[in-house]
Amino acid sequence: MPAPLVDLHMHTTASDGDLEPEELVARCATAGLGTIAVTDHNSTVHVTRAGEECGRRGLELIAACEISTRWQGSEHHLLAYFVPLDDPTFQGRIESVRRSDLERSRWAQVEEAVGPDRVPPFAVLRRLLLEGAAGDARLLAYTSAPQRLYGELFAPGKPLATEPPFQPSLPEAIGWVRAAGGVPVLAHPGATLGDLDPEAVLGELAGEGLGGVEAWTTWHRQETSERFAALAAAVGLAVTAGADFHGPTVKPHVLGPGQVTHNGPEVLEALHEAR
């Protein structure tokens, strides 16, 4: 029998995923996964439910979340593994990030679509905006190419950009996770580091307490994954794997959990060693 596979990055309706935790775990079981981590943005609210469903299906769950940070002028995501659900300091810290994001996207149509306490995926905001502005000549071009809307109107410096929400610096968030007894892992760095020197960045962040790098991910091409796996190993960081599955609304090209390679038991072993 082959060794159980792992997927350490996925989302539920607690953030920008489409599935309830029970549905997500069922998909994981069907995909043949043995160990998973539900990593909602700035929230662990669905970890308990996911854990209960994992228990019913014989899967292992790692308590986790994904923290939004800002560092060197850009947003970076930090995966936090083995985090405590009953630590008021850690929970208060991630809730402050989530709440700041939530407060800038509250309007009646949004609450009707996703509920009053959920940060809406931008895809939902985009759909509601285009539906509400039907016939407005200024937005007509975006009805056939909605994917252009964020970059041309909502990105920083664009006409409809909002003030960024509170986000800790990346080193600060690493400190949050370590203080809570968890393992901080840099998510999909090939998508966020931009012009920064990855070798220098990983060396610096390793000194701050970073425990690993998500090298194997649907955000990376094969050569990018190989490069970050090598860079991580060179500075003694764990190399992890996660599909970043959300569902059809966000990243619809990721068809299900487990859609990632190099996700054998060695990933889990390295993560435990980084604790």
pLDDT tens track for 118-157: 888 888 888 888 888 888 888 888 888 888 988 998 888 8
Kindly give the interhelix angle for 198-208 and 222-234, rounded to the nearest 10 degrees. Answer: 50
In the chain, the percentage of residues whose pLDDT exceeds 70 is 99
The answer to whether residue 161 sits within a structural domain is no
β partners of residue 183: 81
Cα R_g (the chain), whole angstroms: 19
Nearest to 10, CA basis, from 28, 29, 30: 28
Extract long-range pairs of 102-106: CB within 8 Å, 24+ residues apart.
Answer: 103/165, 104/162, 104/163, 104/165
78 shares its domain with 171? yes
85 shares its domain with 142? no
Q: Let me know how long the chain is.
A: 275
Q: Mind listing the pLDDT tens digit for each residue in 167-191?
A: 999 999 999 999 999 999 999 999 9
9 shares its domain with 111? no
pLDDT value of residue 135: 80
CA 7 from centre of chain? 12
138 shares its domain with 243? no
pLDDT value of residue 146: 87
20 shares its domain with 126? no
14 shares its domain with 89? yes
191 shares its domain with 267? yes
CATH, residue 40: 3.20.20.140
Lowest mean pLDDT among 11-25, 48-62, 145-159, 226-240: 145-159
The answer to whether residue 159 sits within a structural domain is no
The answer to whether residue 160 sits within a structural domain is no
How many domains are contained in the chain?
A: 2
Phi/psi for 107 (5° steps) reads -150, 160
Q: Mind listing the pLDDT tens digit for each residue in 221-240?
A: 999 999 999 999 999 999 99
CA 251 from centre of chain? 12
Residues 6+ apart with CB under 8 A from 154: 122, 160, 161, 162
The answer to whether residue 162 sits within a structural domain is no
Q: Is 82 left (phi over 0), alpha (psi -120 to 50) or beta?
A: left
117 shares its domain with 182? no
196 shares its domain with 246? yes
94 shares its domain with 115? no
Q: What is 213-268 written as a DSSP string? A: EEEEETTS-HHHHHHHHHHHHHTT-EEEEE--B--SSS-TT--STT--SS-SHHHH
52 shares its domain with 135? no
**Confidence category of residue 2, pLDDT binned at 50, 70, 90:** low
12 shares its domain with 131? no
Domain that holds residue 174: 5-100+167-273
